[in-house]
């Protein structure tokens, strides 16, 4: 079996005001009435292949996690609580050490909790394709066909030949725009989906080699962890000594045993309102409107009211994001979607 490890620590500030510090986007009902986190857990529980998932999150979200899992009838294998977010490398390492103590041969599948992948069966089939490579001590990434020079993703340069998996030549995390454009032009690059499949012993070996500085602090944090109401609280003292770094920079850019499964079904990282607009169903004028919103003569815009007592009406809008919640309204040019995080810091400064 494979143990899913769901990473659930991000704050998703670019989807403010729906995504909040205390209730980030992965838990919100962005697309339908299942949250992205719930959809992730369901995607990884639809076959006998998968063991109960391990969720790595922080203290603020622990009850949202248990509540949302129980809503979809999924039992977590463990919930690891980080004293503070140190990015994905420490989170993956903590989960790997936790599993290693139980079964060093175990396979784990690291999954972000904020992606949309409508075809769960296609994804499970892709995971199946990756399994063979694990026998050879390889670590498996999933590649998405890119359609624009996005700078927020990792890029996978593929070797020419392969079977179920294709050897990875080079991993480039978050390139600048010129580099991204060059890679798109070159053509033999896929986006990194941010999902990883490996044996516990292999990721531990890779972290020791590529990011050995993490091992001391994170091992101590796991060894000294406290069980609290069924949550495993990593020890804050040692955890504070772990470097804040993503698994992509810490390991994937450096490891030499990576293989890729190209994934051809739908995948999107709903990172901001422009991505939401791109991904959701639009009317003939390119407008995404939810039940609480009305668009009159609008085009290429997204209008959402998240509060039942709040009607949102747009007239003559073009390329606009308008989102109303109970206590905040965002109105922005769609091209400025990435800057919504500025709103969050501006409000923080106001106190
Ligand atoms: N537990 C925990 N702790 N989870 C975290 C933390 C943390 O400190 N930081 C981030 N996460 C979770 C996020 O909630 C998300 O589900 C996942 O880990 C990935 O983190 P992001 O911060 O969203 O990464 P990214 O989008 O910038 O980049 C990654 O994903 C891209 C695809 O969406 C990379 O893997 C890229 O290479 C990739 O293309
Ligand atoms: Mg992301």
pLDDT of 351 higher than 80: no
Protein residue closest via CA to atom 7 of ligand 1: 87
Are 197 and 111 in contact, with CB atoms under 8 Å apart?
Answer: no
Are 6 and 113 in contact, with CB atoms under 8 Å apart?
Answer: yes
Q: Give the pLDDT score at 345.
A: 86
Query: Would you say the CB of residue 192 lies under 6 angstroms from ligand 1?
Result: yes
Per DSSP, the residues of 221-275 read HHHT-EEETTEEE--HHHHHTS----HIIIIITT-S-EEEEEE-S--EE--SHHH
Identify the three-state secondary structure at position 81: strand
Identify the three-state secondary structure at position 117: coil
Distance in Å, CA 77 to ligand 1 centroid: 21
The verdict on ipTM greater than 0.90 is yes
Joined tokens for residue 67? 């509540």
Segment holding 7, helix H or strand E: strand 2-7
Measured between alpha carbons, how far is residue 67 from residues 54, 61, 77 in Å? 15, 10, 15
List pLDDT tens digits, range 113-155.
989 999 999 999 999 999 999 999 999 999 999 999 999 899 9
Query: Would you say the CB of residue 269 lies under 6 angstroms from ligand 1?
Result: yes
Beta-carbon contacts of residue 78 (< 8 Å; ≥ 6 apart) = 54, 55, 98, 232
pTM: 0.94
């Amino acid at each position: 079996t494979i143990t899913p490890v769901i990473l659930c620590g991000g704050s998703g500030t670019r989807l403010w005001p729906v995504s909040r510090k205390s209730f980030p986007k992965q838990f919100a009902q962005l697309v339908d009435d299942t949250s992205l986190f719930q959809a992730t857990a369901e995607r990884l529980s639809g076959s006998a292949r998968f063991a109960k998932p391990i969720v790595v999150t922080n203290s603020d979200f622990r009850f949202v996690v248990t509540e949302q899992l129980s809503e979809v009838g999924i039992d977590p294998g463990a919930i690891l609580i980080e004293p503070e977010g140190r990015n994905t490398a420490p989170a993956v390492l903590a989960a790997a050490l936790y599993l290693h103590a139980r079964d060093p041969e175990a396979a784990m599948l690291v999954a972000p909790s904020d992606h949309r992948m409508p075809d769960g069966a296609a994804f499970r089939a892709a995971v199946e394709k990756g399994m063979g490579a694990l026998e050879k001590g390889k670590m498996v990434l999933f590649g998405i066909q890119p359609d624009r020079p996005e700078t927020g993703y990792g890029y996978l340069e593929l070797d020419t030949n392969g079977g179920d998996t294709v050897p990875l030549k080079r991993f480039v995390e978050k390139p600048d725009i010129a580099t991204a454009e060059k890679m798109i032009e070159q053509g033999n690059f896929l986006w990194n989906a941010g999902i990883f499949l490996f044996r516990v012993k292999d990721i531990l070996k890779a972290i020791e080699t590529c990011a050995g500085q993490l091992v001391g602090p994170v091992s101590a944090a796991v060894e000294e962890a406290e069980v609290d109401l069924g949550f495993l609280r990593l020890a804050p003292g040692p955890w504070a000594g772990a470097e804040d770094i993503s698994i992509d920079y810490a390991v994937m850019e450096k490891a030499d045993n990576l293989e890729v499964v190209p994934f051809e079904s739908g995948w999107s990282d709903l990172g901001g309102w422009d991505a939401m607009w791109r991904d959701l169903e639009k009317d003939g004028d390119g407008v995404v409107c939810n039940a609480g919103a009305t668009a009159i003569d609008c085009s290429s815009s997204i209008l959402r009211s998240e509060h039942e007592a709040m009607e949102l009406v747009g007239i003559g809008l073009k390329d606009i994001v308008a989102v109303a919640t109970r206590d905040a309204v965002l109105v922005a040019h769609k091209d400025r979607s990435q800057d919504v995080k500025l709103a969050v810091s501006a409000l923080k400064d106001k106190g």
